[in-house]
Each structure stands twice: as structure tokens, then as C-alpha cells.
Chain A
Amino acid sequence: MLRIDRAIYDEIVAHARRDHPDEACGVVAGPEGSDRPERFIPMLNAARSPTFYEFDSKDLLRLYREMDDRGEEPVVIYHSHTATEAYPSRTDVSYASEPKAHYVLVSTRDPDTVEFRSFRIVDSVITEEEVQVLAPAASE
């Protein structure tokens, strides 16, 4: 199951909407081994394409160095599909290389409906999981 704060969930959806009709992508990092997505890091889609996304290679190096220095790992790796369902494509599966990550897919095909789904992709096997959106800490 993916447990994710409402604020981060909203940021992922907003990023996907903003970059539509191109695919948006990014990471939510968290302390290594914690399974807690805490630090929202939107990435540039170097492909700037409605059907493909790729982290720019320099950005990727910087991202991984930074996570390494902070003792973090990519807890969530997200991207959007802009005309199709929020389900991993064959391309997504072939590139999926973080067996511990939650692969989040957002579809922006319908401007009025939020499609936000999460998957594990391990050895090319896709397993959908429940998404639990956590309310903000009781400060109000």
C-alpha cells in the first residue's frame, strides 16, 4: 500500500495538469528503508513529449547524489499519461528499475477526473496497490 500526504498527492496531480499535454514526471524521496514519501521533487521531462518521459541525465545524476547525501531513496516515482489510463505501459515496465519504489501513474485525459494509481513493478510484473491519502496533521 502507498501512504501519501494529501499535500504531496495534490502536488503530483497539479504537476501532471500543468505539463499536459506533455507527460510530467518526478520523484518523492524519503529516508532509506522508511517507505515514507516525504520530499516532492518534480523533474523536467527531457523528452517533452505527450507519449514519452525521461529524466534528463544530468538532473538524474544530481538527484541521485543529493538523495545519497541525505540518506534518501526514491519512494515514489511518478509520471502522467495524457491520453490513456493510469496504468503502466510496456515501456514503463521495461524501464522500471527500482523494485522498492511505488510507481505512481496519473492520467490527465479527463480534466475533471483525477486518476491516481500506484503500482509495484518487480521483474516486469505489475501489481497494483491501494493508495491511502493521509489528511494533513491536525493543525486546524
Chain B
Amino acid sequence: MAIEVRIPTILRNYTDGAKAVQSTGSTLGELFANLDSSHPGIGGRLVEDAKLRRFVNVYLNDEDVRFLGGLDTPVADGDTVTVLPAVAGGAPDAARV
């Protein structure tokens, strides 16, 4: 079973520069765990305390997985998972740091 994971520029140092890699799993969490086995270190950039890190957006095909099931979202052969860095920020007194 293969699922394509599209990797943002900032994380391509974990994938030898590859824009997309293949991995497997039945949930997004499993997929990222397997991805970390083949590309050590990348998992920690995606997941923290068993949750998706807030600095990345993850999409299953066209849907933001935050609105699906987060790391429990089921994934299947032929799916494409896209990882993008969140583009966000704000003024010095922003409360949401």
C-alpha cells in the first residue's frame, strides 16, 4: 500500500531534497510514524505530544485533516497527503504564541 506524501521545502532536508515520498499506514498517525522510520527526524517536525504541530498544515487529498480526524484520519492506497508550513504571525502582543 503506498500513499504519496508531498513534502514542503523546509522539510526536504529529511528527504534528500525529494518533493514527494511514498509511505504506508492505515491512519495519518501511522503514516507519519512510518515516514519517520524511513526519514528519521521528520516525524518530530509534524507531530508533537501525539498531536499535529500547529506550524504545519496537513491535507488528505484536498481536505485539511484538522477537519477530518487529525492523526486518526484513515488513509488508503492512492491517497495524497500534502504537508505545508502554516503561514501566520502577528504583532508583538499577539496572545496566540
**Interface residues of A, Cβ cutoff 8 Å to B:** 23, 25, 27, 43, 47, 49-55, 57-58, 60-61, 64, 73, 77, 79, 81-84, 88-92, 94-100
Contact = CB atoms under 8 A, between A and B. Distances in A.
Contacts of A60: 57, 84, 86-87
Nearest to B19: A68
Contacts of B94: 49, 51-52, 89, 91
Contacts of A54: 86-88
B55 A57 contact: no
Nearest to B8: A97
B92 A89 contact: yes
Contacts of B8: 64, 97
A55 B86 contact: yes
Contact of A53 (B85, B89, B92): B89
Contact of B90 (A49, A61, A98, A100): A49
Contacts of A57: 57, 59, 64, 66, 86
B10 A84 contact: no
Interface residues of B, number: 24
A79 to B, nearest CB: 6
A51 B89 contact: no
With a 10 A CB-CB cut-off, give which of B57, B84, B90 has the most chain A CB atoms.
Answer: B90
A64 B89 CA distance: 18
Interface in B40-97: 55, 57, 59, 62, 64, 66, 82, 84-97
Please provide the 5 A-B residue pairs with the shortest distance between their CB atoms, ordered closest to farther.
A97-B85, A92-B89, A52-B90, A54-B88, A89-B92
B55 A94 contact: yes
B57 A53 contact: no
A95 B89 contact: yes
Nearest to A49: B90
A91 B84 contact: no
B10 A89 contact: no
